[in-house]
């Protein structure tokens, strides 16, 4: 399984919780040289005041646990 497939798998596990709050996340890409994953927060997640906390403490931690090559997750 590629790193991108592993990242997508983690996002698929997280999506039900995001959907429950009216949001979603879109995978935009992974830069293996930098270890950076780029995501776009959608729906209610776009304007949520704690979306960066969700991104860093929820999504980033889970992706980094599954894909050690990832160093950071950024919302663009």
pLDDT tens for 4-47 read: 999 999 999 999 999 998 999 999 999 999 999 999 999 888 78
pLDDT at 51: 80
Q: How many domains does the chain have?
A: 1
d(CA 38, CA 31): 8
* CATH number of the domain bearing residue 27: 3.30.300.130
Sheet holding 72-75, edge to edge: 23-31, 36-43, 72-75
pLDDT at 50: 83
- Backbone φ and ψ of 50, nearest 5°: -110, 20
pTM beyond 0.75, yes or no: yes
Residue-range definition of the domain harbouring residue 26: 3-75
Of the pLDDT bands very low, low, confident and very high (cuts 50, 70, 90), residue 53 is confident
């Amino acid at each position: 399984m590629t790193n991108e497939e592993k990242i997508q798998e983690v996002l698929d596990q997280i999506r039900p919780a995001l959907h429950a709050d009216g949001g979603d996340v879109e995978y935009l890409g992974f830069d293996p040289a930098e270890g950076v994953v780029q995501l776009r927060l959608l729906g209610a997640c776009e304007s949520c005041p704690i979306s960066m906390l969700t991104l860093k403490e929820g999504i980033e931690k889970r992706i980094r646990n599954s894909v050690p090559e990832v160093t950071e997750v950024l919302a663009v």
